[in-house]
């Protein structure tokens, strides 16, 4: 089981938090902070597994994380998950984001956290892995987006236009905070079918 | 109006959307909180509007704020509103918000039940999907109970997308509503073989998760998983299954044996590290579960260790980490194979990665032996010195203590060394584990009698240098050590060299800065020391020393009397008065030493931590009852001392105890002695070791160095543990030399001429004698302690509730709650409308009917589960089992008045299941194909008659059964049987489904009091056969409408088994039928009406396989005969010939009937309706029990029993085109009369004819 999925940046700002077990808001923030604290002080080139923090988990739980440029992707899982499998799942997740957002960068995650949630929902459900095939995930996500578009129809057009205008005069919209080299792979780990 | 809408939508454009909110927050870095609070106010305004789009936008923003840590539970109701929007866009926003912030105590959740149910049954798969996803996050016990049945229905949805989500969410439902597990399990199991890999993977996922917590209930699934493991190519699924096997093997070692081979193959073949790693893990689990009985399993260990070494040596830190992790599992059972990699592991201790260092530490724990303990600990001590960061250092500290104290100090040969290690550890600054060190000191000093003198000396030095430990900080955890030191010095003060000095050290003013509970111990033990001093001075005539001591006490104790700590104060004032009194006596030259010592007489025994729990509660004592009125709530708990040691205080009030229980104590001692005699860890004294101990340099030889306050970390005067390493080395060498000498002597004397290798053999564990006469006192337990298993599980663990036996047949009381009107919808009964009307008038009747309806559902489920089982099962057994299992349902079908019947817990199916598993486990892996087929051919004698109905097949089956049972005992034949079954499973795969179902139904319906087993029945009949090939057909088994609303699109599926009887290869088989006007073979698009269908397989010699052909049928009222030809090529080594075989396909009218359950009231209405034409037949000379007769009709003619009273039964069936067929069967003597009604007289006539034919043949 996956207990929580967290994405935060190099400064510990949460970009997505998904808890598959209930905590109140304060505890959630504490967990995010603690996790960030644990993860951020680790060097690059050390292993991607961490024995669980004090707040989340306990003995049976592990933090499995990957660091892409400015973002940390952290999964808190118990012993029923394969460690390397989860690492691969993170990779699939990031690649899917990359496909869905066309060259994903941190800003995409900042402004479209709802979409990230929807993509994640196609991969992990209630703490269990639902789908590991990237194409299947993208197909389902696209189909749902299409539905959303068709529902918005013409009525949605002005809203889209306004939002485009709003985005136009955005000085702080650099596209350079790219998630970076997502092709870092665990050696000898062919992706799941 | 239109204008208003336009205006509204324009307004909306300028509402803040999520992006605007995020942008705003980013632009207000200075006053973020303020900005957000204004945003929340805006959101509150937006939520008040009627426009759902505005609301959805607001909820979307709230979801973002929730992530930032803002409580948005106040908007829960608005979230529900957005969830119930009809537009997918908003619905999705609503569900996302709900999944982020709803939980069990959100009260609006109960409002969502109907909305969710509606979404679950939405025609749009994404509505359903979104609802499932949301539900998975916030499902509550109530929701689970109310929606379990809806979700279960979704598990068979046509879209795999929904199926897989429904399967996954079932796990959450089980957790919240454990009662749903048993009813839903059969379907879940079915999903393991779903054609869609995603669904399959989800099912594996759920079952693995369930099995992980309660593995024993899932053992019976092992064969199924084994099959999946050998067939699946999906790594994700494989990993899950392999992990599952890891959990199952400890329960069933035979499973492990079966697994080793395929797993080893996978290890060799896979390129995926994740899979390799899990395989290794499971192999390890298997090896752990197997006792050493297996000859070749050292090879497997070697393989694992070797693969793990590769992982550990890999440059990838992840693999290194996992390698170490797995290694630690091997370590537990096969320490030898790991110990050879000690170099590698010690190397990992130096790794820069802390996770890896910690893992390596774990490994060290299991790698120590008597021989290398000192060396390893020495190395660890070095790491302690080097370690940066207190967490890692603390970890090291606990590991050192763990390693040394493991299994009752098994590996410690020299306790002096250990004490000095502990003392060295006290030098650690800022450690949190002072209490750990302290408890070790206490434990060793109490339990190892021989070490007390040494320990006391060390502790005295510690006390003397207490200022070094306490340093500047109170919060320093290490001062706990002083607690132990003070207590040891006091309790075993008779060993003290200079009690007076220690007494002085304990009464220094600085002590008052220590935590209260430590001061209390100081005071108490100062009194003990005082007693010792008095005793020591007893003989002296001048008595000045004794008086000095009294004076010292009187001088220093007032400091403690003023203590803020109650405990300290009380003890101090008590003792102060006592000493004052003693002083008076001393001045009168009264001998007081003995009396004072009596205060602290008696020995302290270690008590097991669990001892208190194990004291049996005396009869008639209710521990939970209030003695007085319950106190008010406001009791402060601030004063509770935090340290664990405070709890042990009561131990010190001993004198009373000893005086009262002198006898008791003696008795306990006796008991303990006996226990020690049986305890393997009780190290018996050996005279030689005692001698060695005396030879070792004692404390007095260690030079006392001048205290150098500039180097506060060194505790002077203490021996360094390193010295002991050297000393120990020397001691062992000496011992070895002595031994050699002795042996040489012996040999000289005896000249027995033992091989030289003996004395060159490496020192083994046993050779190392402990340096001390060690008396490791075992912990005391109360008399008549209750034996209890120790695996106490957390009572709050939700998985505890899921420990449910899944093999037991479903009881009546177990069913998923179904909403009433849904139940009516689901009903396939032809009188739908009528019943609903009826229910309005007769609510009572309806409810009972509902129950039955539910039961039907359940029955169907159970049937499925049974079918699953049966694939692997002896057919005969099945029938018996059904007989028993069927009874559970019988009475309900029988009577309308008795609504519920207690479920008879028939163990038969469970035992059958178990024996089934035994069977699977005991068989040899992978039988060869040809052999298998040969046995089948041999076991299946050819039927003599070629009749359209399946009757003639029956003797064949019976014979088969007989052959089987006669061979029952011999193992080899057992194997054969197994193969047969496997074979059967393969070829009859689908038919069993149906035929068994029908058979079961009939038996269930047919039996009341008789328990005679039914003769086995089969639906297969011989179609045609020649010297090359045999064709067997099942009488149009699966009959179904391809689409119910097409009037003439009925289809019949025919399964044909082709069996190669010759020694040649058969290929290019083509199946062709001459179409009639009424019935046509369905051919692929583009082929002509006379083209044959290519059979999609080839047949090697002796092999059989099954093909299915679909026919379109127009009219079903008449039986049909179709002529057909099978052409094929017989390929020999040198030549090949074309052959053909003609056959006739016979579609009986029976084959157009579908077994459809019907209820007696619906049945009665049907008969009353008057639309049916009637007809009847009489059968003479039928000589079989009535229930057999019914079973035959059910089985061969696809009827179901509606009701049975004595020797009269009503039966029902429905044709694929919706004709109702009702039978009333009566029997008297040997005559059976069947009155039948049907809305299609021709069909009825033909069916009756066929029934007649069936019975004429027996």
pLDDT > 90 fraction of chain B, expressed in percent and rounded:
9
8 Å CB contact between B1018 and B1033:
no
Distance from the A90 Cα atom to the nearest Cα atom in chain B, whole angstroms = 14
Chain A residue with minimal CA distance to B13? Answer: A159
* CB contact A172 to B (< 8 Å): yes
List b or e across B718-757, with b for residues whose CB sees 16 or more CB atoms inside 10 angstroms.
bbebeebbebbeebbeebeeeeeeeeeeeeeeeeeeeeee
CA separation for the pair B303, B282 (Å, rounded): 13
Set of chain A residues whose Cβ sits within 8 Å of the Cβ of B243: 80, 82
Q: How many residues does chain A have?
A: 193
Q: Give counts: helices (H), strands (E), chain A.
A: 6, 7
Is residue B13 very low, low, confident or very high in pLDDT (cuts 50, 70, 90)? low
The pLDDT assigned to B664 comes to 64
Rounded average pLDDT over B323-342: 81
Is beta strand B1093-1094 parallel, antiparallel or unpaired with respect to B1079-1081?
unpaired
CA separation for the pair B1224, B1244 (Å, rounded): 13
* CB contact B608 to A (< 8 Å): no
pLDDT at residue B347 is higher than 70 = yes
Set of chain A residues whose Cβ sits within 8 Å of the Cβ of B19: 111-112, 163, 166-167
SS3 state at B1130: strand
Set of chain B residues whose Cβ sits within 8 Å of the Cβ of A82: 239, 243, 274, 277-278
SS3 state at B1095: coil
Give the pair of three-digit tokens for residue A191. Answer: 């992706």
Hunting for tokens 């009489």 — which residue is that? B1178
CA separation for the pair B573, B559 (Å, rounded): 10
- Sequence-distant (6+) residues with CB within 8 A of B1224 are B1208, B1209, B1210, B1211, B1234, B1235, B1236
**DSSP states of B688-727:** HHHHHHHHS--GGGS--PPP-TT-TT--TTPPPHHHHHHH
Q: Is the dihedral of CA B426, B432, B434, B439 positive or negative?
A: negative
Is residue B662 very low, low, confident or very high in pLDDT (cuts 50, 70, 90)? low
The pLDDT assigned to B948 comes to 41
pLDDT tens for B151-168 read 999 999 999 999 999 999
Is residue B23 very low, low, confident or very high in pLDDT (cuts 50, 70, 90)? confident
Is residue B927 very low, low, confident or very high in pLDDT (cuts 50, 70, 90)? very low
Q: Do B165 and A130 touch (CB under 8 A)?
A: yes
CA separation for the pair A73, A96 (Å, rounded): 14
Rounded average pLDDT over B388-414: 82
Is residue B783 very low, low, confident or very high in pLDDT (cuts 50, 70, 90)? low
Set of chain A residues whose Cβ sits within 8 Å of the Cβ of B89: 147-148, 151-152
CA separation for the pair A27, B621 (Å, rounded): 43
pLDDT tens for B996-1042 read 433 333 334 333 333 444 455 555 667 777 777 766 665 444 333 33
- Which residue of A17, A111, A187 is in closest CB contact with B19? A111
Give the pair of three-digit tokens for residue B941. Answer: 């004698």
pLDDT tens for A134-173 read 999 999 999 999 988 888 765 556 666 666 666 555 544 4
Which helix (H) or strand (E) segment holds residue B835: the answer is helix B832-841
Question: Looking at chain B from residue 534 to 593, which residues have their Cβ under 8 Å from any Cβ of chain A?
Answer: none
8 Å CB contact between A8 and A15:
yes
pLDDT at residue B845 is higher than 70 = no
The pLDDT assigned to B1103 comes to 74
Q: Do A126 and B168 touch (CB under 8 A)?
A: yes
- Sequence-distant (6+) residues with CB within 8 A of B546 are B533, B534, B537, B540, B586, B593
CA separation for the pair B493, B412 (Å, rounded): 25
Distance from the B179 Cα atom to the nearest Cα atom in chain A, whole angstroms = 20
Question: Looking at chain A from residue 21 to 60, which residues have their Cβ under 8 Å from any Cβ of chain B?
Answer: 22, 24-26, 28-29, 43, 45-51
Average model confidence (pLDDT) for chain B? 72
pLDDT > 70 fraction of chain A, expressed in percent and rounded:
75
Q: Which residues pair with B1113 in a beta bridge?
A: B1079
Distance from first CA to last CA of chain A, Å, rounded? 20
Set of chain A residues whose Cβ sits within 8 Å of the Cβ of B352: 43, 46
**DSSP summary character for residue B829:** -
* Cα-based distances in Å from B312 to A14, A72, B268, B355, B1112: 34, 26, 18, 13, 64
Set of chain B residues whose Cβ sits within 8 Å of the Cβ of A148: 88-89, 92
Set of chain B residues whose Cβ sits within 8 Å of the Cβ of A128: 168, 171, 202, 205-206, 209
Set of chain B residues whose Cβ sits within 8 Å of the Cβ of A159: 9, 12-13, 17
The pLDDT assigned to A95 comes to 92
Count Cα neighbours of B840 within 13 Å in the Cβ-side half-sphere.
Answer: 5
Chain B residue with minimal CA distance to A166? Answer: B20
Q: Is the dihedral of CA B340, B346, B348, B354 positive or negative?
A: positive
Count Cα neighbours of B1115 within 13 Å in the Cβ-side half-sphere.
Answer: 10
Helix segments in B353-414, DSSP class H:
354-367, 373-386, 390-409
Set of chain B residues whose Cβ sits within 8 Å of the Cβ of A163: 17, 19
Q: Which of B49, B94, B90, B50 is nearest to B72 (CA)?
A: B94
Q: What residue ranges define each of the domains in chain A, with the CATH number in brackets?
A: 2-152 (3.30.450.60)
Is residue B431 very low, low, confident or very high in pLDDT (cuts 50, 70, 90)? confident
Alpha carbon dihedral B101, B103, B109, B110, in 10-degree steps, equals 180
SS3 state at B932: helix
8 Å CB contact between B1081 and B1139:
no
Count Cα neighbours of B191 within 13 Å in the Cβ-side half-sphere.
Answer: 31
Chain B residue with minimal CA distance to A48? Answer: B318
CB-based burial label for B1247 (10 Å; 0-12, 13-18, 19+) = buried
Is residue B1169 very low, low, confident or very high in pLDDT (cuts 50, 70, 90)? confident
Rounded average pLDDT over B915-932: 53
Q: Which of A119, A143, A126 is nearest to B124 (CA)?
A: A143
CA separation for the pair B65, B38 (Å, rounded): 12
Question: Looking at chain A from residue 83 to 112, which residues have their Cβ under 8 Å from any Cβ of chain B?
Answer: 83-85, 87-88, 110-112
pLDDT tens for B1123-1163 read 888 888 888 777 778 888 888 877 777 777 777 777 777 78
**DSSP states of B564-581:** SSHHHHHHHHHHHHHHHH
* CB contact A157 to B (< 8 Å): no
CB-based burial label for B1088 (10 Å; 0-12, 13-18, 19+) = exposed
Mutate to test the interface with B, among A141, A173, A189 (most CBs of B within 10 A): A189
Q: Which of B111, B102, B105 is nearest to B84 (CA)?
A: B111
How far does Cα B700 stand from its chain's mean position?
Answer: 58
Give the pair of three-digit tokens for residue B22. Answer: 């995020």
**Helices B516-537 & B480-491, crossing angle to 10 degrees?**
20
SS3 state at B526: helix
* CB contact A176 to B (< 8 Å): no
Give the pair of three-digit tokens for residue A112. Answer: 């479209």
pLDDT at residue A17 is higher than 90 = yes
The pLDDT assigned to B892 comes to 39
Distance from the A46 Cα atom to the nearest Cα atom in chain B, whole angstroms = 6
Give the pair of three-digit tokens for residue B1059. Answer: 């069996």
CA separation for the pair B911, B877 (Å, rounded): 11
Give the pair of three-digit tokens for residue B940. Answer: 């299946």
Q: Do A162 and B277 touch (CB under 8 A)?
A: no
8 Å CB contact between B175 and B798:
yes
Chain A residue with minimal CA distance to B5? Answer: A155
pLDDT at residue B794 is higher than 70 = no
Q: Which of B1060, B881, B875 is nearest to B954 (CA)?
A: B875
CA separation for the pair B1053, B1082 (Å, rounded): 10
- Sequence-distant (6+) residues with CB within 8 A of B833 are none
Set of chain A residues whose Cβ sits within 8 Å of the Cβ of B58: none
Distance from the A55 Cα atom to the nearest Cα atom in chain B, whole angstroms = 16
Q: Which residues pair with B1110 in a beta bridge?
A: B1053
Q: Which of B511, B420, B414, B514 is nearest to B458 (CA)?
A: B420
pLDDT tens for A58-113 read 677 889 999 988 899 999 998 888 889 999 999 999 999 999 998 888 888 888 99
CA separation for the pair B1006, B1191 (Å, rounded): 6
- Which residue of B18, B70, B212 is in closest CB contact with A25? B70
Q: Is the pTM of this model over 0.80?
A: no
CA separation for the pair B1150, B1036 (Å, rounded): 9
* Cα-based distances in Å from B107 to A25, B73, B138, B185, B850: 17, 10, 12, 30, 30
CA separation for the pair B470, B513 (Å, rounded): 9
Chain B residue with minimal CA distance to A15? Answer: B67
Other residues' Cβ atoms within 10 Å of the Cβ of residue B196: 14
CB-based burial label for B474 (10 Å; 0-12, 13-18, 19+) = exposed
Question: Looking at chain A from residue 121 to 140, which residues have their Cβ under 8 Å from any Cβ of chain B?
Answer: 121, 125-133, 136, 140
Q: Which of B24-28, B717-721, B992-996, B1048-1052 has the lowest mean pLDDT?
A: B992-996
Question: Looking at chain B from residue 85 to 114, which residues have their Cβ under 8 Å from any Cβ of chain A?
Answer: 87-89, 92-93, 96, 100, 103-104
Q: Which of A60, A62, A56 is nearest to A18 (CA)?
A: A56
Q: Do A125 and B133 touch (CB under 8 A)?
A: yes
Q: Which residues pair with A63 in a beta bridge?
A: A50, A76
The pLDDT assigned to B934 comes to 40
Rounded average pLDDT over B76-94: 91
CA separation for the pair B659, B952 (Å, rounded): 92
pLDDT at residue B507 is higher than 80 = yes
């Amino acid at each position: 089981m996956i207990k929580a999925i967290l994405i935060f940046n190099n400064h510990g700002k949460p970009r997505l938090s998904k808890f598959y077990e209930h905590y109140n808001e304060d505890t959630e923030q504490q967990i995010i902070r603690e996790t960030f604290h644990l993860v951020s002080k680790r060097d690059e080139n050390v292993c991607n597994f961490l024995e669980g923090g004090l707040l989340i988990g306990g003995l049976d739980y592990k933090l499995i994380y990957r660091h892409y440029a400015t973002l940390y992707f952290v999964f808190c899982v118990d012993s029923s998950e394969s460690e390397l499998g989860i690492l691969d799942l993170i990779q699939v997740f990031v690649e899917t984001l990359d496909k869905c957002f066309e060259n994903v960068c941190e800003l995409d995650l900042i402004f479209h956290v709802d979409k990230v949630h929807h993509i994640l929902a196609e991969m992990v459900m209630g703490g269990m892995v639902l789908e590991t095939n990237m194409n299947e995930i993208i197909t389902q996500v696209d189909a749902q987006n299409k539905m959303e578009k068709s529902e918005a129809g013409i009525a949605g057009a002005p809203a889209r236009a306004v939002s485009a205008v709003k985005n136009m005069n955005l000085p702080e919209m650099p596209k350079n905070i790219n998630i970076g080299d997502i092709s870092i792979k665990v050696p000898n780990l062919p992706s799941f079918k | 109006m239109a204008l208003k809408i336009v205006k509204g939508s324009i307004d909306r454009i300028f509402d803040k959307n999520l992006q605007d909110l995020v942008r705003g927050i980013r632009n207000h870095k200075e006053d973020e909180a303020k900005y957000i609070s204004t945003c929340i106010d805006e959101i509150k305004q937006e939520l008040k509007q009627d426009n759902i789009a505005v609301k959805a936008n607001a909820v979307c923003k709230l979801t973002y704020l929730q992530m930032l840590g803002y409580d948005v539970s106040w908007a829960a109701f608005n979230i529900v509103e957005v969830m119930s929007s009809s537009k997918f866009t908003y619905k999705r926003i609503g569900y996302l918000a709900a999944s982020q912030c709803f939980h069990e105590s959100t009260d609006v959740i109960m409002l969502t039940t109907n909305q969710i149910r509606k979404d679950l049954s939405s025609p749009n798969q994404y509505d359903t999907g979104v609802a499932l996803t949301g539900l998975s996050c916030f499902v509550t016990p109530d929701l689970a109970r109310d929606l379990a049945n809806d979700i279960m229905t979704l598990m068979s949805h046509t879209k795999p997308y929904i199926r897989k989500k429904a399967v996954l969410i079932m796990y959450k439902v089980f957790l919240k509503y454990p009662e749903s597990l048993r009813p839903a399990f059969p379907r879940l199991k079915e999903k393991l073989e779903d054609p869609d890999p995603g669904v399959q993977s989800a099912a594996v996922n759920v079952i693995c998760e369930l099995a992980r917590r309660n593995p024993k209930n899932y053992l019976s699934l092992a064969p199924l998983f084994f099959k999946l493991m050998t067939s699946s190519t999906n790594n994700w699924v494989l990993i899950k299954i392999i992990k599952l096997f890891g959990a199952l093997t400890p329960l069933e070692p035979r499973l492990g044996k079966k697994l080793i081979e395929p797993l080893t193959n996978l290890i060799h073949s896979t390129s995926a590290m994740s899979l390799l790693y899990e395989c290794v893990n499971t192999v390890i689990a298997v090896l752990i579960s197997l006792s050493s009985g297996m000859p070749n399993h050292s090879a497997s260990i070697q393989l694992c260790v070797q693969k793990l070494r590769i992982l550990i040596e890999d440059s990838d830190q992840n693999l290194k980490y996992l390698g170490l992790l797995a290694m630690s599992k091997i370590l537990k059972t096969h320490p030898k194979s790991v110990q050879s990699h000690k170099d590698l592991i010690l190397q990992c201790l130096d790794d820069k990665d802390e996770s890896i260092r910690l893992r390596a530490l774990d490994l060290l724990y299991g790698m120590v032996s008597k021989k290398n303990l000192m060396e390893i600990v020495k190395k660890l001590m070095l790491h302690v010195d080097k370690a940066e960061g207190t967490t890692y250092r603390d970890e090291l500290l606990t590991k050192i203590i763990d390693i040394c104290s493991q299994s009752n100090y098994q590996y410690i040969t020299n306790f002096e060394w250990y004490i000095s290690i502990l003392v060295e550890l006290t030098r650690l600054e800022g450690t949190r584990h002072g209490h750990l060190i302290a408890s070790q000191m206490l434990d060793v000093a109490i339990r190892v009698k021989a070490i007390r003198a040494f320990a006391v000396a060390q502790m005295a030095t510690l006390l003397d240098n207490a200022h070094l430990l306490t340093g500047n900080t109170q919060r320093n955890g290490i001062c706990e050590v002083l607690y132990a030191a003070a207590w040891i010095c006091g309790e075993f003060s008779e060993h003290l060299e200079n009690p007076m000095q220690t007494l002085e050290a304990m009464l220094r003013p600085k002590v008052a800065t220590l935590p209260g509970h430590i001061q209390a111990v100081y005071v108490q033990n100062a009194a003990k020391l005082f007693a010792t001093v008095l005793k020591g001075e007893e003989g002296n005539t001048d008595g000045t020393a004794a008086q000095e001591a009294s004076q010292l006490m009187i001088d220093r104790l007032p400091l403690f009397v003023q203590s803020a700590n109650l405990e300290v104060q009380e003890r101090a004032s008590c003792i102060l008065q006592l000493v004052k009194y003693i002083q008076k006596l001393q001045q009168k030259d009264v001998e007081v030493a003995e009396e004072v010592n009596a205060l602290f007489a008696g020995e302290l025994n270690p008590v097991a931590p669990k001892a208190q729990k194990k004291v049996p509660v005396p009869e008639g004592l209710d521990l939970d009852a209030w003695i007085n009125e319950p106190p008010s709530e406001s009791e402060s708990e601030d004063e509770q001392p935090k340290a664990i040691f405070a709890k042990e205080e009561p131990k010190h009030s001993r004198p009373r105890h000893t005086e009262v229980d002198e006898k008791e104590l003696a008795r306990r001692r006796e008991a303990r002695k006996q226990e020690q005699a049986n305890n393997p860890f009780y190290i018996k004294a050996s005279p030689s070791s005692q001698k060695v101990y005396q030879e070792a340099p004692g404390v007095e030889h260690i030079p006392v160095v001048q205290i150098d306050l500039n180097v506060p970390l060194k505790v002077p005067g203490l021996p360094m543990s390193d010295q002991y390493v050297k000393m120990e080395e020397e001691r062992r060498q000496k011992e070895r030399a002595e031994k050699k000498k002795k042996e040489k002597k012996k040999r000289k004397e005896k000249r027995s001429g033992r091989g030289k290798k003996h004395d060159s053999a490496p020192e083994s564990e046993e050779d190392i004698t402990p340096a001390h006469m060690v008396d490791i006192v075992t912990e005391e337990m109360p008399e008549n302690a209750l034996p209890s298993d120790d695996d106490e599980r957390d009572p709050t663990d939700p998985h505890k509730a899921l420990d449910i036996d899944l093999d037991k047949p479903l009881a009546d009381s177990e069913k998923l709650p179904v909403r009433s009107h849904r139940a009516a919808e689901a009903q396939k009964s032809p009188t739908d409308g009528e019943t609903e009307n009826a229910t309005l008038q007769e609510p009572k009747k309806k409810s009972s009917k509902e129950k039955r309806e539910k039961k039907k559902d359940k029955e169907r489920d159970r049937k499925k589960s049974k079918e699953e089982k049966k694939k692997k099962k002896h057919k005969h057994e099945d029938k018996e089992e059904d007989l028993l299992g069927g009874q559970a349902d019988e009475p309900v079908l029988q009577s309308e008045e008795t609504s519920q019947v207690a479920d008879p817990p028939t163990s038969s199916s469970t035992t059958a299941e178990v024996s089934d598993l035994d069977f699977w486990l005991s068989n040899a892996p992978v039988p060869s194909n040809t052999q298998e087929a040969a046995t089948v051919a041999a076991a299946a004698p050819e039927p003599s008659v070629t009749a359209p109905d399946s009757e003639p097949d029956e003797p064949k089956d019976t014979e088969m059964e007989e052959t089987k049972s006669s061979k029952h005992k011999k193992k080899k034949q057992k194997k054969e049987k197994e193969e047969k079954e496997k074979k059967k499973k393969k070829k009859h795969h689908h038919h069993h489904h149906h035929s068994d179902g029908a058979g079961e139904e009939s038996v269930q319906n047919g039996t009341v009091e008789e328990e005679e087993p039914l003769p086995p029945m089969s639906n297969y009949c011989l179609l045609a056969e020649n010297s090359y090939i045999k064709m067997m057909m099942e009488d149009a088994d699966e009959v179904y409408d391809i689409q119910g609303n097409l009037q003439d699109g009925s289809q019949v599926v025919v399964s044909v088994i082709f069996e190669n009887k010759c020694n040649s290869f058969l290929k290019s088989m083509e199946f062709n039928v001459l179409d009639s006007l009424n019935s046509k073979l369905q051919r692929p698009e583009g082929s002509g009406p006379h083209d044959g269908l290519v059979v999609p397989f080839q047949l090697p010699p002796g092999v059989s396989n099954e093909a299915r052909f679909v026919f379109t049928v127009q009219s079903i009222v008449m039986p049909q005969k179709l002529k057909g030809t099978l052409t094929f090529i017989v390929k020999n080594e040198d030549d090949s010939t074309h052959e053909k075989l003609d056959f006739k396909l016979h579609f009986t009218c029976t084959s157009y009937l579908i077994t459809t359950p019907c209820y007696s009231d619906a049945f009665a209405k049907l008969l009353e309706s008057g639309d049916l034409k009637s007809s009847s037949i009489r059968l003479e000379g039928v000589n079989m029990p009535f229930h057999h007769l019914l079973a035959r009709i059910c089985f061969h003619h696809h009827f179901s029993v509606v009701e049975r009273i004595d020797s009269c039964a009503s039966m029902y069936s429905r044709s694929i085109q919706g004709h109702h067929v009702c039978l009333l069967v009566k029997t008297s003597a040997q005559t059976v009369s069947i009155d039948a009604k049907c809305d299609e007289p021709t069909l009825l006539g033909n069916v009756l004819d066929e029934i007649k034919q069936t019975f004429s043949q027996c």
